[in-house]
Structure 1
Amino acid sequence: MNKYLFLLFFLCVSMSMQAKISLPAYFTDNMIVQQKSMLTISGVSAAGKEVVVKVGWNSKDFRVTSGMDGKFEVQVPTPKAGGPYTITIDDGEPLFLQNVLVGEVWLCSGQSNMEMPVAGWGKVMNYEKEIAEAIYPSIRLLQVKKVISHVPSEKLEINGDGWKECSPSSVENFSAVAYFYARNLWEKLKVPVGVIDCTWGGTPAEAWTSLSALKHVWGFEEDAARIEQCRADRELLMAKYQDDMTDWEKRLNDCDPGMKNNVPCWTSNEQSGDDWKQMNLPGAWEHNGLPDFDGSVWFQKVVDIPSEWEGKTLTLNLGKIDDKDITYFNGKEIARGDGYYVKRTYSVPAELVKSGKGIITVKVQDQSGTGGICGSPEELSIDAGNDKISLAGMWNYRVGVPLSQQPQVPFSPDSQNYPSVLYNAMVYPLRNFPIKGAIWYQGEANVERAVQYTPLFQSMITDWRNLWKNDFPFYFVQLANFLNMQEVQPNSTWAHLREAQANALHLEKTGMVVTIDIGEAYDIHPKNKQEVGARLARLALADTYGKGKYDIPMYKSFKIEKGAVILSFNQNIIVKGEIPTGFAIAGPDMKFYPAHAIVKGNMITVTSPDVTVPIAVRYGWADNPPCNLYGENGLPLTPFRTDSFE
């Protein structure tokens, strides 16, 4: 009898637990909903329950009966901007959502330049003042948690308790671009604005794109087929990944002069010779002897190990390495590290520690942006307890394999960079929440694959619109200037990626913000996010809300006359400086030279004494070009080229 009583008690407890209504994570106090839209209010109650939904802006009761699985869903029209309101969802035990606003909701996504917080690791320009003044109760903030999924997920995970009123405490670790965008919209529209921070630093566009879309994008056919063959099962995908990594490492080692027959040959002895140079560490190698370099570099430092250290386990501190490393001590591998700018602390096994020379060799692999052994001088050391030897100073180094000569590294299925995993976990669960549009800042992680980015990016935009069943506005930021300033750089991967981004303007309801004038040479995260947010808002205000105009200055056409190339533009061009800069010109040999330019209205004449028969002109075609041309509306001229040489 007791057994049956226990079962009855268990069933009653289970039913009472199920009776508590659960809602998607974006339904919280302080939320904002898109005005003049159809809001889907869905959730889970007990099976067969009548659920009554009441919204403060409508006197009607919305009634629905939950299914056998407890799920329910009602469609509620939203009014024009206003509030605050209360939403009640009642299945006998009411759930109240307080302080709800109706206004404009924007999804803000991309990699680290969209993720970059106002303070935190970002620290935008004048961040302390910005935080202190961030008191905007009509701006609401929601931050999506960084998670991955191999299949589309119904569950959205968020940081904190959900929507927050914009305040100094809530904005501090929130996307700076999203916040400045919202602030500019609110100041002009005078309606509540909500922004959803849905970002993950260092991630490529394919991670944000659905598998069904990637199947039709050039270069991703094999990835999509593999995921389908493995039924998106993590264990099967991991087994295939291990095979791929073994093959990749062998192919990489085959082209690495530091490896011979898959065995490192620069780790046992102190290296010297003409191919070995010196670099002062810590510091990014881009401004330390290797400008614009991505790929692998071998570093070596020889220290004198005291006799009293012999046979002791040592601690090796290598600062913050960007991105990956394999570390050796006296010829033996002791550790592998992974992660952009992550501090490395390794143990040196006691059996490797002998008095005399201690040879530390570190192979560093960098995929994009800055690379090397970074951090502060205090972070580089080797020690045995209280005794410490600094490793800051001159290290020997030698280039291994430039990234352009490396086979493409496979992404782990557990990586945020794996195809579709961010779409599945962070975008797909938002599909029933109406938005006005999306803003996007990403591209750095795809720099080495610019040709592929054109179809990929346009597919992703269309993919998101299909998911929401809404042809919403999609506005994006073109990559800023970065790395060493150069006037002529025909093979610039950053320039090619900017062009690939601009190609998306062929899609309707898209817009681009040019930031070629506000980047920083040695900071991939430029601090002036205020201007980025302001330009995005100016674009949205013009194209979505009909307030003002946002025509980015763009090249239209060219003709060649008497040894000069005459370019025409969509508006008058203004020079900020003494003479126009940033132009390069080429003749039939397809070699580019710095060019002289004369601006007159919406026409620019370009010449060079080095090119008597010009056939092509480029402007702003470098990682970090010296651009100083603007339109009559104050916006920077978009980088362009008249040729299609490569």
Structure 2
Amino acid sequence: MVLQRNLNLKIWGNAEPGEKVMVSFNGQKQKSKANTFGKWSVVLDPMKAVKEPLIMTVHGNNVIELKNILIGDVWVCSGQSNMQMKVSECIDAENEIKAANYPNLRLFEVPRTVSNTPVDHIANASWKVCTPETIKNFSAAGYFFGRDLQKEIDVPIGLIHTSWGATCVETWTSKASITKLPKYGDFGTRIDHYDETTASQKFEDNLKKAIGKFPEKELGMEENWMQPNTDRSTWNTIELPTLWENAGYQRLNGLVWFSIDFNLTETDIGSGAQLHLGKIHDSDITWVNGQKIGGMNWSNNVERVYAVPSKILKVGKNNISVRVEDKYYKGGFASKANKLFFQMGKKKIPLSGNWKMKVDKVIPDFKPLPNDVPSLLYNAMIHPLIPYGIKGAIWYQGESNTPRSKEYEITFPNMINNWREDWGQGNFPFLFVQLANFQVAKSTPKEDAWAELRESQTKTLRVINTGMAVAIDIGDANNIHPLNKQDVGNRLMFSALKVAYGKDIVHSGPIYQSMQIEDNKVIISFDHAGSGLLVKNKHGYINEFEIAGDDKKFYWAKAKLDGNQIIVWSDDVNKPVAVRFAWSMNPAEFNLYNKEGLPASPFRTDDWEGVTDGKSFDD
């Protein structure tokens, strides 16, 4: 393993009550005595980095030798699936794995488990030397960060990987910390009463009450449930839009069909018809009058807008059928009622209200989930690491908090402060990755939950000793887990060199500083411009800017460099009051950097109400 250098280092363990213990390591000897609970600990004086293997001897009624110990810097690597993603899954994986011979880089993997009470021990886990064999299934972002960092500072590096895909920030926060926040005061009782076995059985029993016997075989496609003449008299009724968990179908994962009839007149039928369904969790296939008009896979943040050919419409009754698939967490229709309608020209037919619903297939998985209540992963996967000496932490998470992005401005800094307080090592460096670009690029400016989450991440830089790696240009429109984790790790490393090691380097891309309005133009100034702003376009055009006046309606804007400032304007806005940049899930035309090659962070100059304002854990 690697022990943290330059730190009063706590070593702890278990023995018989009253047993005397002595720890010998690197020329030091420290004594302790186990208390009535059998717990003991010693504190070693700070030590410099050591690259040659050392032995720690623990003397009690028996003798334990811990071999091959180095002294250097230890980093905790945590978050959700983009931190969990393996080296074997990233780009150029074969060559990366072959080259992963780093004897002074050590790896520790925390097993994934939940607990509603703090846990002190980690079972079935041990430190490993970094080799091509041990690195395959380790965190790619964590590994590339540690590898690049070691090359820069030339000391042993220890990486403790503790992450879980699709998890929210609240589950990584202690009960004492989360219950201090607005809207979370009553969660203490829910956390205390959470029981894995009871919770699993309760979810299964409740779902059987809601839908009856679980369907064993998928039938909808085979029996053509999308056809208008399908007998739906025995189908359930559900009021849409809603996530089906909010309608009493807790822990329903699988396939669910929805259907509604609506009427058209002869004058309604013409060209340009569109079906608007809002956001659907997660995949859908959609039919009108039995004809498929669209579908998306695993695109829960994309609003469904499908063109409807006029030839398939008819005077009188028409039918819409939607087959929704969801394999994890919540499923169904996630937008507000005003996003669910059928449009012909300027006329809109609202579709919110009662729909028919039938469950086609159930995935019977009722295991406890980390997001059931807050603190489950803090208790099981963070608490047992404390007080192991660390240099700092890196973090890649946020996707699962996008439904409540505004609140993340509070819950994320709260978690950082929670870890620091509990670790008792002061304000250790905490570095995080801003959400990468994902999904289809938008054609017109609009509100966006992912953009709001990135804004909350940027605001977290107000917390002392934090750093942010911007990944807005290295994502993948079709994959929420972008394969380029090399650049992610490298950009985190730049933040570490500045924040943790005090190096005089440019560690960040441009970050919005201020704006000035002159006539019909807005002048934007930046922090972290480095040696100058850089536009990656041979004609110098800067993309992804939007501008709005008092009416709060945004238009695509023109933008140009003026030294280290950017001038923004639009012929559609005579009196601008607000500017936004890269304000979408996927600003696909992004091209603004500093000359050090680091991308600018998305931003907005306004503070107008967003789509996630007021949303919290139970929403």
In the other structure, the counterpart of 1:592 is 554
Percent of pairs identical after alignment?
37
- Within the candidate set 364, 370, 373, 1:416 is matched to 370
Q: 1:71: how far off?
A: 2.5
Note if contact 2:283-2:297 (Cα within 8 Å) is conserved in structure 1: no
Note if contact 2:6-2:48 (Cα within 8 Å) is conserved in structure 1: yes
In the other structure, the counterpart of 2:239 is 254
Superposed CA deviations along residues 286-325 of structure 1, whole A, max 9, x for unmatched, are: xxx9999333766589xxxxxxxxxxxxxxxxxx98599x
Q: Does 1:71 align with 2:62?
A: no
- Within the candidate set 190, 196, 201, 2:160 is matched to 196
Q: 1:503: how far off?
A: 1.1
| Matched position secondary structure for 1:599 | strand
In the other structure, the counterpart of 1:62 is 30
In the other structure, the counterpart of 2:133 is 169
1:187-586 pair list within 5 angstroms: 187-228=151-192, 230=193, 232=194, 253-255=238-240, 293-295=279-281, 299=285, 362-365=323-326, 401-403=333-335, 414-418=368-372, 419-470=374-425, 471-486=427-442, 488-549=444-505, 550-570=507-527, 571=529, 572-577=532-537, 578=539, 579-586=541-548
In the other structure, the counterpart of 2:10 is 40
Letter in 2 for 1:101: L
| Matched position secondary structure for 1:36 | coil
Note if contact 1:205-1:457 (Cα within 8 Å) is conserved in structure 2: yes
Superposed CA deviations along residues 79-100 of structure 1, whole A, max 9, x for unmatched, are: 1110310011122421111100
Note if contact 1:52-1:63 (Cα within 8 Å) is conserved in structure 2: yes
Superposed CA deviations along residues 88-121 of structure 1, whole A, max 9, x for unmatched, are: 11224211111000000000000010110100xx
Superposed CA deviations along residues 567-598 of structure 1, whole A, max 9, x for unmatched, are: 11223321001311010111121111110001
CA distance in 2, matches of 1:404, 1:84: 60
CA distance in 2, matches of 1:581, 1:157: 51
Letter in 1 for 2:280: D
Q: Kindly tell me: are residues 164 and 632 of structure 1, through their superposed partners in 2, closer, same or farther at Cα, counting changes over 3 Å?
A: same
Q: 1:248: how far off?
A: 11
- Within the candidate set 153, 163, 168, 2:119 is matched to 153
In the other structure, the counterpart of 1:181 is 145
Q: Kindly tell me: are residues 158 and 179 of structure 1, through their superposed partners in 2, closer, same or farther at Cα, counting changes over 3 Å?
A: farther
Q: Kindly tell me: are residues 262 and 447 of structure 1, through their superposed partners in 2, closer, same or farther at Cα, counting changes over 3 Å?
A: closer
Note if contact 2:79-2:163 (Cα within 8 Å) is conserved in structure 1: yes
Q: Does 1:116 align with 2:85?
A: yes
Normalising to structure 1: TM-score of the pair?
Answer: 0.71
CA distance in 1, matches of 2:48, 2:446: 51
Note if contact 2:6-2:47 (Cα within 8 Å) is conserved in structure 1: yes
Q: 1:48: how far off?
A: 2.9
Note if contact 2:283-2:298 (Cα within 8 Å) is conserved in structure 1: no
Q: Kindly tell me: are residues 521 and 247 of structure 1, through their superposed partners in 2, closer, same or farther at Cα, counting changes over 3 Å?
A: farther
| Matched position secondary structure for 2:279 | coil
Letter in 2 for 1:75: V
Q: 1:541: how far off?
A: 0.9
Superposed CA deviations along residues 191-222 of structure 1, whole A, max 9, x for unmatched, are: 10011111101100001001111112233234
Note if contact 2:546-2:557 (Cα within 8 Å) is conserved in structure 1: yes
| Matched position secondary structure for 2:490 | helix
CA distance in 1, matches of 2:602, 2:189: 37
CA distance in 2, matches of 1:80, 1:111: 33
CA distance in 2, matches of 1:543, 1:402: 39
Superposed CA deviations along residues 404-449 of structure 1, whole A, max 9, x for unmatched, are: 569xxxx989211131000000000111101000000000001111
Q: 1:531: how far off?
A: 0.5
Letter in 2 for 1:447: T
Superposed CA deviations along residues 510-555 of structure 1, whole A, max 9, x for unmatched, are: 1111111111101111111000100101110122112232243111
CA distance in 1, matches of 2:135, 2:199: 38
- Within the candidate set 92, 102, 105, 2:71 is matched to 102
In the other structure, the counterpart of 1:136 is 102
Note if contact 2:201-2:366 (Cα within 8 Å) is conserved in structure 1: no
CA distance in 2, matches of 1:221, 1:624: 36
Is there any run of 5+ residues in structure 1 with no aligned partner, and where? 1-30, 276-288, 302-319, 325-359, 372-399
CA distance in 1, matches of 2:404, 2:202: 23
Note if contact 2:281-2:298 (Cα within 8 Å) is conserved in structure 1: no
Q: Kindly tell me: are residues 404 and 562 of structure 1, through their superposed partners in 2, closer, same or farther at Cα, counting changes over 3 Å?
A: same
CA distance in 2, matches of 1:267, 1:206: 29
Letter in 1 for 2:605: T
CA distance in 2, matches of 1:551, 1:268: 47
In the other structure, the counterpart of 1:316 is none
Q: 1:255: how far off?
A: 2.5
CA distance in 1, matches of 2:258, 2:388: 61
Note if contact 2:23-2:58 (Cα within 8 Å) is conserved in structure 1: yes
Q: 1:627: how far off?
A: 1.3
Q: 1:39: how far off?
A: 2.2
Normalising to structure 2: TM-score of the pair?
Answer: 0.74
CA distance in 2, matches of 1:257, 1:208: 27
| Matched position secondary structure for 2:44 | strand
Q: Kindly tell me: are residues 253 and 217 of structure 1, through their superposed partners in 2, closer, same or farther at Cα, counting changes over 3 Å?
A: farther
Q: 1:37: how far off?
A: 1.4
CA distance in 1, matches of 2:258, 2:179: 49
Note if contact 2:145-2:492 (Cα within 8 Å) is conserved in structure 1: yes
In the other structure, the counterpart of 1:88 is 57
CA distance in 1, matches of 2:523, 2:210: 48
Q: Does 1:636 align with 2:599?
A: yes
Note if contact 2:257-2:324 (Cα within 8 Å) is conserved in structure 1: no
Superposed CA deviations along residues 36-91 of structure 1, whole A, max 9, x for unmatched, are: 11222222223332222111x11x43222323443222112241110310011122
Letter in 1 for 2:368: D
Note if contact 1:487-1:620 (Cα within 8 Å) is conserved in structure 2: no
Q: Kindly tell me: are residues 262 and 73 of structure 1, through their superposed partners in 2, closer, same or farther at Cα, counting changes over 3 Å?
A: closer
CA distance in 2, matches of 1:262, 1:415: 18
CA distance in 2, matches of 1:510, 1:258: 36
Q: How many residues align?
A: 505
Q: Kindly tell me: are residues 268 and 520 of structure 1, through their superposed partners in 2, closer, same or farther at Cα, counting changes over 3 Å?
A: closer
Letter in 1 for 2:596: N
Q: 1:488: how far off?
A: 4.0
Letter in 2 for 1:416: P
Q: Kindly tell me: are residues 460 and 267 of structure 1, through their superposed partners in 2, closer, same or farther at Cα, counting changes over 3 Å?
A: closer
CA distance in 1, matches of 2:449, 2:486: 26
Is there any run of 5+ residues in structure 2 with no aligned partner, and where? 212-235, 250-254, 265-274, 288-295, 301-320, 340-364, 610-619
Q: 1:402: how far off?
A: 2.9
Letter in 2 for 1:106: W
CA distance in 2, matches of 1:425, 1:269: 39
In the other structure, the counterpart of 1:333 is none
CA distance in 1, matches of 2:258, 2:18: 75
Q: Kindly tell me: are residues 589 and 633 of structure 1, through their superposed partners in 2, closer, same or farther at Cα, counting changes over 3 Å?
A: same
